Amino acid sequence: MSRLDSAIRRLQAQRACLDWAVGELAALPDLATAPVLELGLGNGRTYDHLRDRLHDAHGDHLPNREIFVFERKVAAHPDCVPDAAHLFEGDFRDNLPNALARIGARAGLAHCDIGSGDAALTKALADFVGPALAPLLAPGAVVAADQALAIPGCQPVPLPDGVAVGRYHLYRMASG
Ligand SMILES: C[S@@+](CC[C@H](N)C(=O)[O-])C[C@H]1O[C@@H](n2cnc3c(N)ncnc32)[C@H](O)[C@@H]1O
């Protein structure tokens, strides 16, 4: 498989998992106003996708979902930068532990896109993010992630058709 093929498959898997997660969230009335978390803004591609899909999923009659973004240093397309109230700029390690107080409610969906070219650093970051994310998730919340995460209280969920095992990861928090 060429590197282009591999990149395309990764992006297709990412989109399929995000769309699955948005669909699950839309079907959970208890989480109708639960916020969404995006860890890793990057150039804003997946943030923009979530914004787009969450809006579609809920129609005009429900309030737009609040999306809170965590990113070390914002360098996204200007159209894809959240306002200051929805941005935790800085290291995940500094911001995740105190985030619930500022967000004010546990999330119904979290997307973690945190990988870099350094496998050891990425593994260490994933080892931190899994446990740090758990207190931010509502019962029944869904998580999509580019890395395998050990999130206390969450179980893995089968991937959508066409997504190879290990290419992306889905989890659901116990419903309480
Ligand atoms: C793979 S990119 C995200 C791509 C993005 N989801 C998109 O679709 O454009 C990973 C992002 O995570 C951020 N990141 C990595 N480690 C971090 C850390 N410890 N704290 C905060 N942000 C971090 C990087 O700065 C980078 O923007």
State mean pLDDT over 19-48.
Answer: 95
Q: How far is the CA of 113 from the centre of ligand 1 (A)?
A: 6
pLDDT digit string, tens, across residues 65-117:
899 999 999 999 999 999 999 999 999 999 999 999 999 999 999 999 999 99
CB 31 within 8 Å of CB 140? yes
Average pLDDT over residues 10-29: 95
Buried b (16+ CB within 10 A) or exposed e, 57-79: ebeeeeeebbbbbbbeeeebeee
- Split at pLDDT 50, 70, 90, the class of 59 is low
The Cβ-side half-sphere exposure at 61, using a 13 Å CA radius, reads 0
Pocket, ligand 1, Cβ cutoff 6 A: 40-46, 70-73, 91-92, 113-115, 125
Q: Specify the fold of 3-173.
A: Rossmann fold (3.40.50)
